[in-house]
Structure formats: structure tokens, C-alpha cells
Copies of this chain bind each other. A is one copy, B any other.
Amino acid sequence: LYTEAGLCPAFFVFPHMIITFTDFGSSGPYLGQMKAALYSHAPDEPVFDLFTDLTPYDVEGAAYLLAAYSTAFPAGSLFLAVVDPGVGSQRAAVVVQADGRWFVGPGNGLFNVIGQRASSLRCWEIDWKPESLSASFHGRDLFAPVAARIALGAEVPGKEMDAALCLDESWPADLMRVVYVDRYGNLITGLRAESVGQSAILTCGGRELMRRRTFSDVPPGSVFWYENSNGLVEIAVNQGRAADVLGLGVGAPIAVV
């Protein structure tokens, strides 16, 4: 691979990755059991955890994160996405194929933004059920086996349906609020940087924020916004915690001046 053109330029080039995207936490009993279930059905598929600490019940915020972060992965990747406050209710279980990527999870809006932005889109409602289905852990019992089988190339165990019936197309193109606070205290929003101008000024928490390229472009302690490494508007402080400096967290609204 060390050609004159250098290393392979894309950072994710291998197909058939399974990516988990959950609010399970990385420490407790849920993620490990779901990954053991994936392994049981598809032992050779690599699995990576994209987010494990999404905000519980915040399906909306998760939907905008998933749309932004999934595009970093190549066609053929499969996202096992579980933010599922309605588990055990009548909400559907769905599979979505969007621009060659697969998404498996609850039909509660989690894939609405994926659907909106897709050039090619197919949807299925899962009609398979495992013999033993718990009332509260469909990630392990239902979604993982289905995801594993799809990753192996099997047909979707369900009925294809019209995307307009499967996904709600009325959600806004961008979400004007904070959707995640990362370990550095940076405030990741549901707004794509490409949706605003290069010199856009944002307001958040009563402050006006200018765009900068990255942390080291401002003095320590300065608050700014920048396009993060997955294309979203992120509010940050160089060598500080924006969440603490601004006193804000998930849900805080932002606006473009």
C-alpha cells in the first residue's frame, strides 16, 4: 500500500463492519450481551462501538448524530442502533438501507434523518421473532440476530414497505440544539457546518460564537464553534470544557445570527 500515492486515503475502507450505536453505556450488562449475540450469529464480522452513551430517551438527538456519523463509514457497513424507550410496546422493528449502508433498530424515528438525506433508500419492517424475546432487551434478542444475518448477506427477515410509511419525513433538515456532550465538555449540535456560512455567527447560552478551524487557533479559554471531524457544528473551548463554561448540556438551543 505504500505506493507513491501514499497510504490508502480513506480511513475506513473495509466493508462489513458492524457498528453499535446505543445508550447502553460501555460498562454495564447490555453492550456485552448484545455483542455476544452478534458474535453468535456472525463470528467473523468485526464490531465497533460508535456511541454507547447516547442520552437515554433522546431518539431525536440520536437520529441527527447517526446521520452525521454514519457517513464516515463505507457502503456495506451495518449500524445496530438502539435508543429504544418504547421497547416492548407496539413500535415496529425496522431495517433501513440508505446509500448502501444498513441500519437495524426500532422504528421510533431513529432513522428519520438517515432517510431524509439518502439518495437511495429501502425500508423493511422486521416480522421475525426469536423463540425467546424479553420485554426489555430487543437489542440482544431481536436486533442483534437480525443485524448479524444481514451483515452476512442474508435477506431481511421482514416485509419491504414504502419509506414514507416507515420514516417520518417531516423532521427539520438540521436540529438546532446540543445533542451530545463529549468527554472534553465539547457541545456537539445537530446542525451541519455545511448548512451554515463559513463566517456564520452562532448564539448559544446568550453568547455569540465565531467560527474557528480548530482548538489551537484560539487562546486557551476562548469559546468558539468549529466543524467537527464528522461535519457537525461543535461548540468548544480551547483547553477547557464548553459545557462548564457555558453551563449547558444536551438540549440547549442554538441559533444562527
Chain B residues with Cβ under 8 A from A88's Cβ? 213-217
Measured CA separation A40–B39 after assembly (Å): 19
- Contact residues in B for A35 (Cβ distance below 8 Å): 48
Per-residue CB contact flags for chain A residues 35-59 toward chain B (1 = under 8 Å, else 0) read 1110111010010111111001100
- A171 near B: Cβ within 8 Å? no
Q: Is residue A122 contacting chain B, with contact meaning CB distance below 8 A?
A: no
A188–chain B nearest beta-carbon distance, Å? 8
- Name which of A176-184, A198-206, A244-252 contacts chain B: A176-184
Distance (Å) between the CB of A15 and the closest chain B CB? 10
Measured between beta carbons, the chain B residues less than 8 angstroms from A131 are 9-10
Copies of this chain assembled into the complex: 3
In the assembled complex, the Cα of A223 lies from the Cα of B128 at a distance in Å of: 31
Asked if A28 is at the interface of the complex by the 8 Å CB criterion, the answer is yes
One of A111-119, A137-145, A160-168 at the interface: A137-145
| A257 at the binding interface (Cβ < 8 Å) | no
Chain A positions 46-91 with a Cβ under 8 Å from a chain B Cβ: 46, 48-53, 56-57, 69, 72-73, 85-89
Nearest CB of B to A228, in Å: 6
When A and B form their complex, which 4 residue pairs have the shortest distance between CB atoms, in order from nearest? A88-B214, A9-B131, A137-B229, A25-B183
> What residues on B are CB-neighbors of A43 within 8 Å?
14, 46
- Residue A17 contacts which of B19, B25, B39, B51 (CB distance < 8 angstroms)? B39
Interfacial chain B residues near A154, Cβ < 8 Å: 1-2
The listed residue (B8, B149, B183, B226) touching A135 by CB distance below 8 A is: B226
Seed contacts A12-B40, A33-B69; 6 additional CB < 8 Å A-B pairs: A2-B149, A26-B26, A26-B52, A27-B52, A85-B216, A141-B229
A214 to B16, CA, bound (A): 34
> Given A216-B88, A229-B134, A229-B137, are A36 and B9 also a contact pair (CB < 8 Å)?
no
What is the CA–CA distance of A247 and B30 in the complex, to the nearest angstrom?
Answer: 23
